[in-house]
Structure 1
Amino acid sequence: MEPTASSSDPKDSLANASPLTGEELVWRSRYGMLESHGYRLRQRYKPDWTPSWLKSKRPAPLHEDYPAHWNSEVIDAVRIADERRVFLKRVADDSSELRIHRFLSEKERLKDPWNHTAPLLDEFPEDDDPTMIYMVMPLLRPYDVPEFFSVEEVVDFMRQILEGIVFMHRSMVAHRDCSDLNIMMDADAMYPKGFHPKSGIMDSTGHRFAHPKHRRDIVPRVRYYFIDFGISSMFRPEDKERKVIGLEGQDTAVPELSLSRPYDPFLVDVFILGNLFKKMFIDKYDNVEFLRFLVEDMMQPSPLARCNSEEILKYFNDIIARQSPRFLRWRLKKKTYGRAERFFVDVDSISHEGVFLVKRVISSSTSSVVHFLQKRLRLDRKR
């Protein structure tokens, strides 16, 4: 029997406490088993846990072990061998989700730079029920937290996501739910002091606010990933009929979804991503209007009028190639901004452009000096 939410522990009823939820009690019961497999849950789930704020002057929410969790199938953890933060997901061993994730995480496929599947780092069966498997993936963040800052950040996101869906479709996998909650990012480089897995605005200590860098200032760039293949479909090369039925998924606006009439799931992916781009960018910012026609093509009501993912990616790259680098470096302008806010955005963008040009001149000059010295050294050696 699984633990219940009720508890006789007096600590759980303290006025200033954050008692364990029913789902957390389940994870507490798994703490030792997971540790034996090399994964450690946060302090909050240790069987002998005592809330740290009971002996602290700081407010309870400003403690690492305060934030609660409400899911008994997924949770963050640490890989003991190297202290890497990871994400655990419990699935059935015969699930299509596990089969598809294994397929997309095969060694050769992971070498493809267009593979934006959250990599499957490890898997192991549950001790008490071997029919349940724990999938281990990197700990990721929602792709839009923090918000996008510049046009080039939006462009980079869209390019990665379109390349990722093209890779999946070439592999004959249709995601079918590639919307808001199933796109994440590896943001470790944005957070030099880390981030709390349950309180995204705090650093890893849980009692200081995190101060992330902008995506455009990170080298290499932030990488985005697809997760959750729970309703995805995978086909074989010999499958002539690559259609499905079903109403599942976050995006209920897809016009062809049906329980009785088969539809093309690959074109559904195109519509879903188009709708995501529309809601997140086209409807929100003024200076990404140049992408509107692309998004409208992705959201054609008739699937037969929709381009496939490869055609959409080519169209996207053609559009971006016509934009000036300076325009792409500009800060995003929200449609809700007034005149003063727009003026501030322009001033800030001009300042950033000046800094960018100065850095480029310095970098170019440094490279020229290094090249000259290397050439002079070679001549001296010949003498």
Structure 2
Amino acid sequence: MPSSSSETRLDNASPLSEREILWRDRYNMLESHGYRLRQRYKPDWKPSWLTTKRSLVFHDDFKPHRSPVSIDAIRISDGRRVFLKQILKPSSELDIHSFLSDDNKLKDPRNHTVPLLDVFPDDSEPSYVYIVMPLLRPFDLPLFFSVDEVVEFVRQLLEASTNFLLPNFILKLNVRDCSDLNIMMDAEPMYPKGFHPKNTTTDTTGYRKAHPKRRRDVLSSVRYYFIDFGISTMFGPDETDKTVLGLEGQDNTVPELSERYPYDPFLVDIFIVGNLFDSALFKKYDNLAFLYPLIEEMTQPDPPHRCDAAGALNLFNEIISQESPRRLRWRLKAKSSGKLERFLIDVDSLSHEGVYLAKYTFTSTTKGILRLLRLR
């Protein structure tokens, strides 16, 4: 029989924090709207580890949650994992997100706004509503594997930047806030069996290691999204002054941010995205040197000399057109990797290249034979 001190230790392991108590108190309300939180937040929750000898890490309800305004949940109607976020109403964040998420705009493949699945009131706090989004992952988890995976990521972000010049409105997207924390990935094609929302390296159990597919194997299916419009601005078609003021945002290296002198928010977004390419890609991997001219144009300190969204996308397409397909299929080499690791990466890349060429040759030959047979 366990000692009383052992019982106390288990009883007190991973207790609900004050922030989590808020979610416990909202459990029934959220369930009435069709969304179920994890077992840990049920009002009558009893820690599952008290009745078993298994290690605490094997218990899903052992994992705490820190945010008081957002949380993962299950959509009861179909079992889909989603993400709930509490926001004030009315708010520009909700207006902009709703505007970009209507059915017609979401049909445009260039629209990289995270889909808005549902909006419902907070019955306990009338000044708030909940928005429902797909459960996403950080854009670089798991890490990029090959050059072509990075190319697709860059392409989608630049494509998104040009798409926010819409026919009826001109949207300033996430000015000062389109940084790495607000760019996420819909990794569902990579994780056909799902992943745990808290321990994202595991499957839905929370303790068995997940084995995702590589991006390159589902390349056209992986989508990257902008997720936060809290400090965004939308300009109407008749507004001639499309400048803003403010210092808010996560990237404090943007040179023109000011509370006194108006600046062009579109060019700020270009700088921030270029900075992201620099810090998360160019400075991290050796074989992405071809991105440097693009980054240099996007991060010019003097805004008038900085390229706009269309210019960045055109330059990117020109750069990629000059790269050999073989080079784009190569595995990434981290700058921190040693000589042996780089050698092994090259060997592995050569092996994959041989398999690719063999498949390509076989497919091309087969198609040629079939064409000849049809002609007969």
Note whether the superposition's TM-score is higher than 0.5. yes
Give, in whole Å, the separation in 1 of the partners of 2:42 and 2:360: 51
Name 1:147's counterpart in structure 2: 143
Partner-residue secondary structure (3-state), 1:68: coil
Tell me the alpha carbon deviations over residues 288-341 of structure 1, each in whole angstroms, 9 at most, x when there is no partner.
001101101100001111111111011101101111111000001112222211
AA matched with 1:285: Y
Q: Displacement, 1:128? A: 2.5
Percent identity of paired positions between Structure 1 and Structure 2: 58
Question: Is this contact kept in 2: 1:64–1:196, CA < 8 A?
Answer: no
Q: Displacement, 1:193? A: 2.5
AA matched with 1:239: E
Question: Is this contact kept in 2: 1:251–1:272, CA < 8 A?
Answer: yes
Q: Displacement, 1:212? A: 1.6
Pick closer, same or farther for the CA change 1:12–1:165 going to 2, 3 Å.
farther
Q: Trace 1:6-25 onto structure 2 (pairs within 5 A).
A: 14=10, 17-25=13-21
Stretch of structure 1 that moved more, 16-25 or 269-278? 16-25
Q: Trace 1:327-346 onto structure 2 (pairs within 5 A).
A: 327-346=327-346
Give, in whole Å, the separation in 2 of the partners of 1:314 and 1:89: 36
Question: Is this contact kept in 1: 2:116–2:132, CA < 8 A?
Answer: yes
Name 2:53's counterpart in structure 1: 57
Name 1:282's counterpart in structure 2: 282
Aligned length: 367
Matching residue within 68, 76, 80 for 1:80: 76
Pick closer, same or farther for the CA change 1:60–1:371 going to 2, 3 Å.
farther
Give, in whole Å, the separation in 1 of the partners of 2:366 and 2:51: 55
Q: Does 1:33 align with 2:29?
A: yes
Q: Displacement, 1:365? A: 4.1
Question: Is this contact kept in 2: 1:62–1:206, CA < 8 A?
Answer: yes
Pick closer, same or farther for the CA change 1:229–1:256 going to 2, 3 Å.
same
Matching residue within 90, 98, 118 for 1:94: 90
Question: Is this contact kept in 2: 1:244–1:265, CA < 8 A?
Answer: yes
Give, in whole Å, the separation in 2 of the partners of 1:19 and 1:39: 23
AA matched with 1:111: K
Name 1:138's counterpart in structure 2: 134
Give, in whole Å, the separation in 2 of the partners of 1:181 and 1:235: 25
AA matched with 2:171: V
Give, in whole Å, the separation in 2 of the partners of 1:109 and 1:209: 37
AA matched with 2:202: M
Tell me the alpha carbon deviations over residues 148-206 of structure 1, each in whole angstroms, 9 at most, x when there is no partner.
11110110000001111211244521221100100000111212321110111111111
Stretch of structure 1 that moved more, 210-219 or 267-276? 210-219
Give, in whole Å, the separation in 2 of the partners of 1:301 and 1:131: 41
Q: Displacement, 1:219? A: 5.2
Question: Is this contact kept in 1: 2:72–2:81, CA < 8 A?
Answer: yes
Question: Is this contact kept in 2: 1:13–1:19, CA < 8 A?
Answer: no
Give, in whole Å, the separation in 1 of the partners of 2:120 and 2:338: 54
Gaps of 5+ in 2: 1-5
Matching residue within 124, 127, 133 for 1:128: 124
Question: Is this contact kept in 2: 1:245–1:259, CA < 8 A?
Answer: yes
Name 2:230's counterpart in structure 1: 230
Question: Is this contact kept in 1: 2:298–2:306, CA < 8 A?
Answer: yes
Matching residue within 144, 162, 165 for 1:166: 162
Give, in whole Å, the separation in 1 of the partners of 2:324 and 2:38: 47
Q: Does 1:112 align with 2:119?
A: no
Q: Does 1:350 align with 2:346?
A: no
AA matched with 2:251: D
Q: Does 1:44 align with 2:40?
A: yes
Give, in whole Å, the separation in 1 of the partners of 2:123 and 2:366: 59
Q: Trace 1:180-191 onto structure 2 (pairs within 5 A).
A: 180-191=180-191
**TM-score, structure 2 length as denominator?**
0.93
Give, in whole Å, the separation in 2 of the partners of 1:36 and 1:229: 27
AA matched with 2:261: R
Q: Displacement, 1:54? A: 2.3
Name 1:210's counterpart in structure 2: 210
Pick closer, same or farther for the CA change 1:151–1:16 going to 2, 3 Å.
farther
Pick closer, same or farther for the CA change 1:28–1:16 going to 2, 3 Å.
closer
Give, in whole Å, the separation in 1 of the partners of 2:352 and 2:327: 12
Stretch of structure 1 that moved more, 14-23 or 247-256? 14-23
Give, in whole Å, the separation in 2 of the partners of 1:165 and 1:342: 34
Give, in whole Å, the separation in 1 of the partners of 2:213 and 2:182: 23
AA matched with 1:291: L
Question: Is this contact kept in 2: 1:196–1:205, CA < 8 A?
Answer: yes
Question: Is this contact kept in 2: 1:12–1:18, CA < 8 A?
Answer: no
Question: Is this contact kept in 2: 1:42–1:65, CA < 8 A?
Answer: yes
Tell me the alpha carbon deviations over residues 208-248 of structure 1, each in whole angstroms, 9 at most, x when there is no partner.
11122211011543110001100011100111010111111
Q: Does 1:272 align with 2:268?
A: no
Q: Does 1:250 align with 2:250?
A: yes
Question: Is this contact kept in 2: 1:16–1:60, CA < 8 A?
Answer: no
Partner-residue secondary structure (3-state), 1:190: coil
Tell me the alpha carbon deviations over residues 66-91 of structure 1, each in whole angstroms, 9 at most, x when there is no partner.
22111111111111111111111111
Partner-residue secondary structure (3-state), 2:164: helix
